[in-house]
Amino acid sequence: MYKIKAKRLLAPSIYLMDVEAPRVAKSANPGQFVIVKMDEKGERIPLTICDYDKTAGTVTIVFQTVGCSTNKMSLLKEGDYFSDFVGPLGQPSEFIEEDIEALKQKKIMFVAGGVGAAPVYPQVKWLYEHGIAADAIVGCKSEDYLLLEKEMKLVTGNLYIATDDGSYGYKGLVTDLLKDLIEKEGKKYDVVVAIGPMIMMKFITQLTKQYGIKTIVSMNPVMVDGTGMCGGCRLTVGEETRFACVDGPEFDGHLVDFDEAMRRSTQYKSQEGRAEIERQE
Ligand code: FES
């Protein structure tokens, strides 16, 4: 059993939980995910790791209530338990494998949309702890939905905020802000990491392709049970078929077939929708 040590509402319908899971915390790396289950019969929910404390033995997860299971999860309180907390799963961020001195020569920009700020944070933090200050753009609907600003500020070189309604920071989409930074402010980036809604990642990759900037995306949104067996996270990357939960979740964004991935995730959403209706009946 895995105890919830702390729980916080970060924004409307978005929760953070610190979970006691020493073995997961010990081997966790940025970019990886865990699968949680509330009870024996519960759905397996894959969630990216937002942070980990190897000394305290805790792993931080962030989730948004999007259906039956996540709604139920949001009712758990500090002191409650998950019956399963499996991980770390998936491949760590590719930065972990790179030569640190070579990495220090690169200008890296992270673009996070909505709850994408949660999986971006451990990557930016890891780079910062290795002497690399990456820039980041965090985009959301409005100021109320902005996640982890304080934490991100501590570990980024420059942090840019974009809100759809202009209630905080730049008014507009993260794509437009990135374009402005490159074209109007003359910023140069060697790598962009985009994590957020599929449509956002699609447009970011279209933009960075024009500038020839290598772009990594996290295909977390297509994961269903994270086991490598359901086939729900199947993607076409270049000419190859890949599975987000086993081969990813991060891929070369310029090679991902986003239209196909979006069609598949819509199918998944309708299943969640059906589960939500059943719950309410
Ligand atoms: Fe089921 Fe990847 S989520 S195979």
Domain ranges of the chain: 2-89, 94-189
Instruction: With a cut of 60, say whether residue 281 has pLDDT above it.
Output: no
Q: Is the CB of 96 under 6 A from ligand 1?
A: no
Position 188: which residue type?
A: K
Residues 8-13: what's their mean pLDDT? 94
Q: Residue 228: which pLDDT band, with cuts at 50, 70 and 90? A: confident
How far does residue 75's CA lie from ligand 1's centre (Å)? Answer: 26
pLDDT in tens, 76-100: 999 999 999 998 998 899 888 889 9
Whether the CB of 224 sits within 6 Å of ligand 1: yes
pLDDT at 277: 37
Integer angstrom CA distances of residue 82 from 1, 2, 72: 6, 5, 12
Beta 214-218 vs 191-195: how paired, if at all?
parallel
* Range 67-93 burial, b when 16+ CB lie within 10 A, else e: bbbbebbbeeeeeeebebbbbbbbbbb
Residue found under tokens 């270049």: 238
Span 94-189: which CATH code? 3.40.50.80
Which CATH code for domain 2-89? Answer: 2.40.30.10
User: Per-residue pLDDT for 270 more than 70?
Assistant: no
Separation of 97 CA from ligand 1 center, angstroms?
24
The answer to whether the CB of 21 falls within 8 A of the CB of 58 is yes
pLDDT of residue 269: 53
Q: Which residue has the higher pLDDT, 276 or 25?
A: 25
Q: Can you tell me the mean pLDDT for 30-39?
A: 92
Q: What is the mean pLDDT of the chain?
A: 91
Confidence of residue 111 (pLDDT cuts 50, 70, 90): very high
The torsion angles phi and psi of 165, rounded to 5 degrees, stand at -95, 0
Ligand 1 neighbour 42 (Cβ under 6 A): no
At residue 238 the predicted structure's pLDDT band, cuts being 50, 70 and 90, is very high
Q: Find out whether the beta carbon of 132 lies less than 6 Å from any atom of ligand 1.
A: no
Which atom belonging to ligand 1 lies closest to the Cα atom of 229? 4
CA of 175 to the centre of ligand 1 (A): 29
- Determine whether the shortest distance from the Cβ of 35 to ligand 1 is under 6 A: no
Nearest CA to ligand 1 atom 4: 228
15 Cβ closer than 6 Å to some ligand 1 atom = no
For residue 97, the 8-state DSSP code is: G
Residue 208, pLDDT > 70, answer yes
The per-residue pLDDT for 278 is 41
Closest atom, ligand 1, to C-alpha of 233: 2
Binding site for [2Fe-2S] cluster, by residue number, is 230, 233, 245
Annotated binding site for FAD: 62-64
Residues 263-272: what's their mean pLDDT? 62
- Own/partner contacts of 144-151, CB < 8 Å, gap of 24 or more, are 144/11, 144/12, 145/11, 145/12, 145/14, 145/114, 146/11, 147/10, 147/11, 147/14, 147/62, 147/114, 147/115, 147/117, 147/118, 148/10, 148/50, 148/117, 148/118, 148/121, 151/121, 151/125
- 111 and 174 Cβ atoms separated by less than 8 Å: yes
For the chain, the maximum distance between any two Cα atoms, rounded to a whole number of angstroms, is: 58
Cβ(232) – ligand 1 distance below 6 Å: yes
